[in-house]
Amino acid sequence: MRTGLLVIGAGLAAALSPWARRRYVTWGATPEEASGPVPGDELLSDAGLVSTRAITIDAGPEAVWPWLVQMGSGRGGAYTYDWIENLFGLNMHSADEILPQFQRLGVGDSLPLGTKRPAMQVEICDHAKTLAFRSADGAWVWIFDLRPDQGGTRLISRNRISPPGTSRAARLLYDVMMAPGSLIMERRMLRGIKERAERVGRSAEPVRA
């Protein structure tokens, strides 16, 4: 019993260590990307929690953009683990092709997150550069920033969150459960976008609204 408690304690200490937390919230991002600004930061400037994750895609921003704008419940999905998303009733079915019917997206439009969840609203839609969403309560901002990178793209995903409650217990819950869990899902999403954009290839005709 005592040994088991020691193992659990050691595991929690490792999960809460500064190194582990940096790994959770900055996966794939360079130090400059993690600490630097992206368009849309001002939508929730006083966020209590910020994660910045990134991936290099061997395709230009024009080839990556269509996969982003068609995301959403009942649309192109989220390119992550659909079966996990759908345990929460999100109705996500990740598309493996560009869907022309979902390519028209603009400021003020909604990103559905399931029939029982409030939608995110598009706040920035700068073609092949920046796509930013904000939740109805203003407590969550999700930004995708696309940066040209030697013929490819650095895709940066930043989440800015004001958690419900400012207690140390609320922060501990995020560090122990939410940060690692969100990394698992978001890492798969970024890799899913990468796989799809690279498969279509750089020579594909860009899809414009």
Burial group, residue 155, by CB count within 10 angstroms (0-12, 13-18, 19+): buried
pTM, whole model, 2 decimals? 0.81
Q: What is the 3-state secondary structure (H, E, C) of 98-119?
A: CCHHHCCCCCCCEECCCCCCCC
Residue 12 lies in a domain: yes
Q: How many domains does the chain have?
A: 1
Q: Which residue has 């998303």 as its token pair?
A: 85
CATH of the domain at 154: 3.30.530.20
User: CB 137: neighbour CB atoms within 10 A?
Assistant: 9
Give 63-122 pLDDT, tens digit per residue: 999 999 999 988 999 999 887 777 766 778 899 999 999 999 999 998 877 666 667 999
Residue 16 lies in a domain: yes
Residue 208 lies in a domain: no
Walk across the sheet containing 130-135 and list its strands. Answer: 49-57, 152-161, 140-149, 130-135, 120-126, 110-111
With beta carbons less than 8 A apart as the criterion, state whether 143 and 40 touch. yes
What confidence score (pLDDT) does residue 44 get? 96
Enumerate residues 6+ apart whose C-beta is below 8 A from 205: none
Residue 206 lies in a domain: no
What confidence score (pLDDT) does residue 204 get? 52
CA distances from 26 to 142, 177, 205 (A): 15, 16, 32
Give 152-174 pLDDT, tens digit per residue: 999 999 999 886 655 566 566 66
**96 half-sphere exposure, CB direction, 13 A CA radius:** 2
Domain of 52, in residue numbers: 2-200
Residue 122 lies in a domain: yes
Residue 209 lies in a domain: no
Identify the three-state secondary structure at position 6.
helix
